[in-house]
Amino acid sequence: MVDLWSGLSQAFWLVVTLDAELLEIALRSLRVTLSALVVACLIALPLAGLLAVRRFRLRRAVIAMLNALMGLPPVVVGLVVYVFLSRSGPLGVLGLLFTPTAMIIAQVVIIVPLIASIAHQSLRELWQEYHDLLISMNVTQGQKIRTLLWDARRALLTAALAGFGRAIGEVGAIMIVGGNIDHATRVLTTAIALETGKGDFGLALALGFVLIGLAITVNIAIHWLSRTEREGNW
Amino acid sequence: MSALFPLVVEAAKTTRRGKVLAGPVDLRFEAEGTTVVIGPNGAGKTSLLRMLHGTARLSGGRISWACGTEEARHHQAFVFQRPIMLRRSVEENLIYPLRIRGIDRAEAREKAHQWAQRVGLAGMMDRAAPSLSGGEQQKLALARALITDPKVVFLDEPCASLDGRAMREIEEVLMTARTGGTRLIMSTHDMGQARRLADDVIFLLHGKVHECADAANFFLTPRTQQGRAFLRGDIVE
Ligand SMILES: Nc1ncnc2c1ncn2[C@@H]1O[C@H](COP(=O)(O)OP(=O)(O)OP(=O)(O)O)[C@@H](O)[C@H]1O
Ligand SMILES: [Mg+2]
C-alpha cells in the first residue's frame, strides 16, 4: 500500500513537472499511433466503401477475412511483422526492424480490420438508403464511395476512434517489432511493462495516467470538433 | 446531341425471384408530352417506371432509346415515391447532381437557389434535408431531379403527400418543364391530376398495359370495362 501511495505521488509530480523522459515517451506514443491511424484509415475506409457498393467475386471472402483478422492476437501480428522485417525476412533489406516505422506497420495491421469492419457496417446501412437514388443518378463507383464516406463521416469517426484506442493501448506487437529501445522505440505501453517489471511503480503509474489521459483527450477533442462542425441530427 | 426519342419498348418485363413485377409491355414514347401511368396499388406502376429508367433489371424484351443507353441514362432523372434524402443540407442535396457532373460549386449554388425559389424551399437551404417534412422532401426531390435539365423525368407519385396548394405549385413546375421540352412520365393516383397533366395515359393492371390511349379519349370514353370502372373509382380486380 505504501508502495502504491508513493508511486501515486511520484506519478503526480512527474506529470505536473512535465518530466522530460515522460514527455518524450508520451509524444512518441502519440506520433506512432496517430501515424498508424492515418495510414490505417487511408486503407480501411476506401476498402469499406468498396465492400459496401460493389458486388465483386471475392467480397464475401474479404469480409470474412477482415472479421477473422479482427480477432487476431496482436502478439501474433507482431510475430509475423517481425518475421517479414527481420534481416533474413522478405523485407529485411529495408532495415526497419526495431524502428518506430516497424511499430507503425504492426499497429496498422492490427487496426485496419477493426476500422474496416466497423466502417463497413455503417456504410452498408447508408448504401441501402442511398442505393436507388445514386443508381438512378448514374454516378460512378468512385463517386458512390466518396458520397458514402462523406455522409457517414460521423460513424467513420467512431470507427477511427476505436482504432486509435486499440492502437495506443497495444503492447504485445510493438514490444516485439520495436524492441522497447530507450530514446528510440520506447512508448507508453512498453515502458509501463518495463517499469512494472523493474518494480518502479511511480514511473509506471505516471505513464499509465498519461496513457489514459491521452486516450480521453483525443476522444473528447475529436468528438467536440465533429459536434461543432454542424448541428445536424444524423 | 442526338435525340433520345422515340423510345421503343418491346415485350419488356422485369421480375423478382420469379414473380413478374411488370410486363411484358410494348410501348412507344415520342419526344413530346406527358404520359401518366395509372392503375390500382400493386399494378406495377413503380416497376414499369423503374424498368424504363433502367434501374430495374430487364428480364426479357428490349428497351431501346434512339441514342445509346449510356447517353440516355445521362439525360434522365427519377423522382421516387418515397423521397430519398442525402444526409446533407437542402442546398447540398440540390447541388449534388450538378457536382457529380463536374459543374463548379459557384455555378451549382446559383442554380440551386433558383430551384429552391421555384419549389418554395428558398428559406430552408441550410436545413438538414432528412429533417424536412414529407411534402418538403418531395419538393426537394423534384427540384433535385429537374436541376440538371434532364430530357426525360420519371415521377413516381410526385404529389402523394402534398396539400392542394403545394400540388398546384408542383404541377406548375411540371408544366413549365414540359413546355421547355422535358418529357414527363409519371404515375399518380389522383385522377384530377392525371386529367390536368396527361397527354397520354397508360392504364396498368396486373403488371400489363391494359389500356394505352390519348388522354382526351381515355378520360372521355375508356375502351375497356376495367378502365371505366377505375375512373368511376370502383375497385378493379
Ligand atoms: N423488390 C420487390 N420484390 C418483390 N416484389 C416486389 C418488389 N417490388 C415490387 N414488388 C411487387 O410487385 C408488384 C408491383 O409493385 P409496384 O411497386 O410496381 O406497384 P405500384 O403500381 O407502384 O403500386 P403503388 O400504387 O402501391 O405504388 C407489387 O405486388 C409488389 O408487391
Ligand atoms: Mg408505386
The number of the ligand nearest the C-alpha atom of B39 reads: 1
In terms of residue numbers, what domain contains B213?
7-78+149-232
pLDDT tens digits, A40-87: 999 999 999 999 998 888 888 999 989 888 888 999 999 999 999 998
CATH number (domain holding residue B218): 3.40.50.300
Using CA atoms, how far apart are residues B69 and A221, in angstroms rounded to an integer?
50
Q: B21 CB under 6 A from ligand 1?
A: yes
Domain ranges of chain A: 2-225
Mutate to test the interface with B, among A132, A133, A154 (most CBs of B within 10 A): A133
Using CA atoms, how far apart are residues B159 and B168, in angstroms rounded to an integer?
9
pLDDT of the residue at A228: 57
Residue B142 inside a domain? The answer is: no
Average pLDDT for B55-60: 88
Using CA atoms, how far apart are residues B80 and B142, in angstroms rounded to an integer?
9
List the single range of A189-198, A207-216, A221-230, B75-84 with lowest mean pLDDT.
Answer: A221-230
What is the pLDDT confidence band of residue B1, given thresholds at 50, 70 and 90? low
Contact between residue B124 and residue B116 where contact means Cβ atoms under 8 Å apart: yes
pLDDT of the residue at B134: 86
Residue B61 inside a domain? The answer is: yes
Average pLDDT, chain B: 89
Quick one: what percent of chain B has pLDDT higher than 70?
99
Residue B131 inside a domain? The answer is: no
Number of folded domains in chain B?
1
CB atoms within 10 A of CB B139: 27
Residue B96 inside a domain? The answer is: no
String of DSSP letters for B35-62:
EEEE-STTSSHHHHHHHHHT-S---EEE
What is the pLDDT confidence band of residue A233, given thresholds at 50, 70 and 90? very low
The long-range contacts involving B131-137, CB below 8 angstroms and separated by at least 24 positions, are B131/A232, B131/A233, B132/B85, B132/B90, B134/B83, B134/B161, B135/B161, B135/B162, B135/B163, B135/B166, B137/B83, B137/B85
Using CA atoms, how far apart are residues A75 and A98, in angstroms rounded to an integer?
15
pLDDT of the residue at A170: 92
String of DSSP letters for A140-198:
-HHHHHHHHHHHTHHHHHHHHHHHHHHHHT--HHHHHHHTT-TTTT--HHHHHHHHHHH
pLDDT tens digits, A84-121: 999 888 888 888 999 999 999 999 999 999 999 999 99
List the single range of A6-20, A168-182, B108-122, B164-178 with lowest mean pLDDT.
Answer: A6-20
- B136: which 3 cell numbers? 418538403
Residue B106 inside a domain? The answer is: no
pLDDT of the residue at A206: 83
pLDDT tens digits, A29-43: 999 999 999 999 999
What is the pLDDT confidence band of residue A9, given thresholds at 50, 70 and 90? confident
Nearest CB among B73, B74, B88 relative to A151 is that of B88
Residue B114 inside a domain? The answer is: no
Between residues B168 and A228, the one the model is more confident about: B168
Residue B46 inside a domain? The answer is: yes
Q: B23 CB under 6 A from ligand 1?
A: no
Average pLDDT for A152-158: 90
pLDDT of the residue at A204: 86
pLDDT tens digits, B118-158: 888 989 999 999 999 888 999 999 999 999 999 999 999 99
pLDDT of the residue at A130: 95
Residue B67 inside a domain? The answer is: yes
- Cα(B22) to ligand 1 centroid in Å equals 9
Q: Is B81 at the interface with chain A, CB within 8 A? A: no
- State which residue of chain A sits closest to B75, comparing Cα positions: A137
If we measure between CA atoms, which residue out of B95, B98, B131, B128 comes closest to residue B113? B95
For residue A94, give the DSSP letter. G
pLDDT of the residue at A125: 94
- State which residue of chain B sits closest to A139, comparing Cα positions: B100
Q: What predicted TM-score, i.e. pTM, was given to this entire model?
A: 0.88
pLDDT of the residue at A2: 64
pLDDT tens digits, A186-197: 999 999 999 888
String of DSSP letters for chain B:
----PPEEEEEEEEEETTEEEEEEEEEEE-SSSEEEEE-STTSSHHHHHHHHHT-S---EEEEE-SS-HHHHHHTEEEE-SS----SSBHHHHHHHHHHTTT--HHHHHHHHHHHHHHHT-GGGTTSBGGGS-HHHHHHHHHHHHHTT--SEEEEESTTTT--HHHHHHHHHHHHHHHHTT-EEEEE-S-HHHHHHH-SEEEEEETTEEEEEEEHHHHHHS-SSHHHHHHHHT----
- State which residue of chain B sits closest to A153, comparing Cα positions: B87
pLDDT of the residue at B154: 95
Distance, in angstroms, between A53 CA and closest chain B CA?
15
- Judge whether residue B210 has pLDDT over 50: yes
Q: Which CATH number fits domain A2-225: 1.10.3720.10, 2.60.120.1570, 2.60.40.1730, 1.10.240.10?
A: 1.10.3720.10
Mutate to test the interface with B, among A131, A134, A138, A140 (most CBs of B within 10 A): A138
Q: Is B127 at the interface with chain A, CB within 8 A? A: no
Q: Is B86 at the interface with chain A, CB within 8 A? A: yes
Distance, in angstroms, between B165 CA and closest chain A CA?
27
On chain B, the residues whose CB falls within 8 A of the CB of A136 are 53, 55, 76-78, 80
Using CA atoms, how far apart are residues B33 and B182, in angstroms rounded to an integer?
8
Nearest Cα residue to atom 24 of ligand 1: B41
Q: B41 CB under 6 A from ligand 1?
A: yes
